[in-house]
Structure 1
């Protein structure tokens, strides 16, 4: 196995970035989630759906996705990222590959709905010193 290694400070920064980003998504703050992308960012999240592009496009796509999928059904979703691998890119960005598991909890039910299980491939860049996603591609395991 070949490792390129990143500093522990960078690794911790990326994990903090993901924690804030997923808490925004799970809290229904789709604009805050979209703001974690670059202005021209690209987000591919579900099989069969075209990529969402730009912050405004990403926020609109997430709003519509949740309206279609969960309209009239109150749920709490939790996105869990783990096994995060970071590699430096030649262009100065960071490639990130992680596993994600999504839990959906319905009020009053004891057992969450588990899935999908995914591999998330991100390209992170710095914009004015802050991390932003240039792109995110979510590949669902059941589609492989």
Structure 2
């Protein structure tokens, strides 16, 4: 008979889990549709993204400029971002701050060309800090780590 697995982390509510999953579904549909302004609007005004190569974008204006510069790369392809193994930690420092949520997840990006050929980008682990502003979740910080084999 299987034994239950004990956890030491505080579990988030089902409502928060569903809200975070829905937030990411909407956020990624915007980026996949190349809705640059809509995607940037899912970040706080001073939001920050640190890409796996170390490039840092601060604020929506820098994010929009960076995404616009990348648009030619996405000509004639359909992009899909897939997130999985989502971990959600509400108020990780137990400060009583119910408006901050930290998440970590794996992501896979699939590219489909006009002939239907699918290719994949390297996989990544992403760490986000989400905050609630006026009842709405927004990304305040995103750090993207390219996955690499473990050192042995």
Q: TM-score, normalised by structure 2?
A: 0.84
Q: 1:52 and 1:10 mapped to 2: Cα distance?
A: 28
C-alpha displacement of 1:59: 1.4
What secondary structure, in the 3-state scheme, does the structure 2 residue paired with 1:116 have? Answer: coil
More divergent stretch after superposition (122-131 vs 134-143): 134-143
> Which ranges in structure 2 are unaligned for 5 or more consecutive residues?
1-6
- Of 104, 115, 126, which residue of structure 1 is paired with 2:121? 115
C-alpha displacement of 1:46: 4.1
Match of 1:65 in 2: 70
Q: 2:26 and 2:67 mapped to 1: Cα distance?
A: 17
CA contact (8 A) 1:44 1:52 kept: yes
Match of 1:17 in 2: 23
Corresponding pairs, count: 139
CA contact (8 A) 1:47 1:143 kept: no
- The CA RMSD over aligned residues, in Å, is 1.7
Q: Relative to 1, partners in 2 of residues 1:56 and 1:103: Cα closer, same or farther, differing over 3 Å?
A: same
C-alpha displacement of 1:66: 2.7
Match of 1:77 in 2: 79
Deviations 1:41-63 (A, max 9, x none): 00123425x21111121111111
- Of 125, 137, 142, which residue of structure 1 is paired with 2:131? 125
C-alpha displacement of 1:138: 1.1
Match of 1:3 in 2: 9
Whichever of the two has the greater Rg, that structure is 2
C-alpha displacement of 1:143: 8.5
Match of 1:138 in 2: 144
What secondary structure, in the 3-state scheme, does the structure 1 residue paired with 2:121 have? Answer: strand
